[in-house]
A and B are shown apart, each in its own frame.
Chain A
């Protein structure tokens, strides 16, 4: 993965560590940003403008769900405080079919990955966003 900035949003630090390690081993020139809480993550996304290549978003966050984060981003695009929403990869420990179906309903979501995050997953995502 080159010249990309990647955002990881997950309330589980171990999960963040795994994801970051795998991404880092796959591509040395990417810069990952990590947030455990949703609000600062949303602010960061909006501040980044178009520099973010992809977002890895967990569904079960501390004070809200990943879906609510996407909804909030949409609101902010609407009121002009956010320029655009980068591609989102839902990375979750949930194996509920309902979550997978819901993910399909969001056009921003380009991929749905059930944890654990594996190097193959990383390849798939890079392929989807057209990197490497």
Chain B
């Protein structure tokens, strides 16, 4: 081998003996030029492709330093063998490239010192870098790419792991490059020759799409499971025989079971009978799908459960087929409520009383039952309802009631305002035509009665004033004769006394008639008074007559005699009965009259008992005005009529026991005034 050592200026420092000969004969003119391009760093000689050709010999340069002085050693090379080897290698590499560049993976081959021996185009796309990297390791690569050496360390670790374990290792690298994720699956496969590691093959495969898809799938599965198990609808899957494959909590809960419990049971337990299940299955068979299908099932307690089902049948020949799956919603409560609402609604519809509902804002008719339609038939009901609506709006109360005429009927209309998101007003009508007619009739009767009462008053006034005034004058005038002239001549005195007695009788008739009329007028007021005092008063007024009859009056009254009634009537009744007893006394015996008062259940009983001449009590005419039982005794026949009228007015009763030997007993009972 020949060699030449030069400095960087091309000056020859020393040569091998053969080279001296050659240099002497052929001094290369361009050696300086060559040397100037020669890099100082000896490791770069691979790139330093310049070859010095002297005397048919090829010199290859290699720079080095000799005591700090840069030197270049030029050594001869066997050009032929190099060229052959280079071609061989080049062919081989082209062959590998041809294959490996078409492989969808990064492929690199390292020697035992971690140096690249081969990288395919997938591994490194840049051809220049790809040829540069050969013989370099990952640290070179990192410094070249200007990336942290940590990557190289990590690789080295894996490399040593593969070598140490003497087996293929696999891992996945996850990168984030320019905001995009990348997943690379890497394999390091050591190759041993004579138990010593010679090469390590590295394969890298981009599995980003796979990883992302996988992640998506995993997410979907989680979502599906959550959707399934946490769904509020009851979800289930069973096979065709009714054996459950899966179900969620909601499904088991609809029927009052735990999932574990129901999973062990056949689907048949949920049906009221076997035939029911067969019927539902038959329906399902027809189309393979049931949508919003109502099923009547049974819960754990055997109670009816109504569900709304969406069920799909997958036939045996479909992939994953032979199953029934679906979703159920428990609508038992809703259906029950719906039934109630239905019932109420039909009640409103068929109610014999009209019912109308208006929108609480617009007044639009929302509902009108049959009775309402009948009531409004032939009428402009919208006008009527509009009026009612407006009145209801101004009415501050929640409820109101009024009576109104619609068509030829009268109705009491009750109104209920409902305040809610959808306010409305209900009107309930009650037909009160009959009542209204009765009220009208009653009003007319009352007004007639009032008129009659007025007439009676008027008549009473005529009796008490227009009739009585002249008679009392007549009476007065007759007595004046005596006042003025003292004793009258015999004949005249008799005439005057007859005039006086006639006018006195006439006056008494008018006074009685007046009392009778007064009783029948209605304006009497009740008061609390003492019955005992009342009896004493009557007796004291009748004292002259009692004296005259030489009669004995026995009075029996309880201690407490306060009573609520019309005092003047009670007074008049007693007055008439006692004066009757005095008047119709039996002259053959001493007159004894008993007056007894008593109370029972808020009722006053008065008994007037005499030992007089008596009369035929079977005759009902006894209470008729001007019917006299005895004509031999002076009387005008009004007394008992007045008593009867007053007792009637007090809502009381009167009974008479009388016979012509022992006398008469009058029983009067008067309830307390209400």
Contact = CB atoms under 8 A, between A and B. Distances in A.
Chain A complexes with chain B: yes
Interface of A: 12, 14-15, 18, 21-22, 25, 60, 93-98, 114-119
B480 to A, nearest CB: 5
Contacts of A21: 480, 483-484
Given A14-B477, A22-B483, A96-B464, A115 B472 contact: yes
Interface of B: 460, 464-465, 468-470, 472-473, 475-477, 479-480, 483-484, 511, 514-515, 518, 568
Contact of B484 (A25, A60, A95, A116): A25
A86 B514 CA distance: 31
Contacts of B477: 14, 18
A9 to B, nearest CB: 15
A117 B473 CA distance: 9
Contact of A93 (B460, B465, B484, B515): B465
Given A22-B483, A93-B469, A97-B518, A115 B464 contact: no
Contacts of A14: 470, 473, 477
A91 to B, nearest CB: 10
Main secondary structure of the interface of A (DSSP, over half): mixed
Contacts of B476: 15, 18, 115-118
Contact of A116 (B473, B515, B568): B473
Contacts of A12: 469, 473
A119 B464 CA distance: 22
A15 B471 CA distance: 11
Given A15-B469, A18-B473, A95-B468, 9 more contacts: A12-B469, A14-B473, A93-B465, A96-B464, A115-B468, A115-B469, A116-B472, A116-B479, A118-B479
A14 B478 CA distance: 12
Contacts of A95: 464, 468, 511, 514-515
B260 to A, nearest CB: 98
Contacts of B469: 12, 15, 60, 93, 115
Contacts of A98: 518
A94 B465 contact: yes
A98 B514 CA distance: 12
Nearest to B467: A93
A14 B484 CA distance: 15
A122 to B, nearest CB: 10
Nearest to A19: B476
Contacts of A93: 464-465, 468-469, 472
Contact of B518 (A96, A116, A118): A96
A108 to B, nearest CB: 23
The 6 closest A-B pairs by CB, nearest first: A116-B476, A115-B472, A18-B476, A93-B469, A116-B472, A116-B475
Nearest to A18: B476
A118 B500 CA distance: 13
Nearest to A101: B568
19 contacts: A12-B473, A15-B469, A15-B472, A18-B473, A18-B480, A21-B484, A22-B483, A93-B468, A93-B469, A93-B472, A94-B464, A95-B514, A96-B460, A96-B464, A98-B518, A115-B468, A116-B472, A118-B479, A119-B483
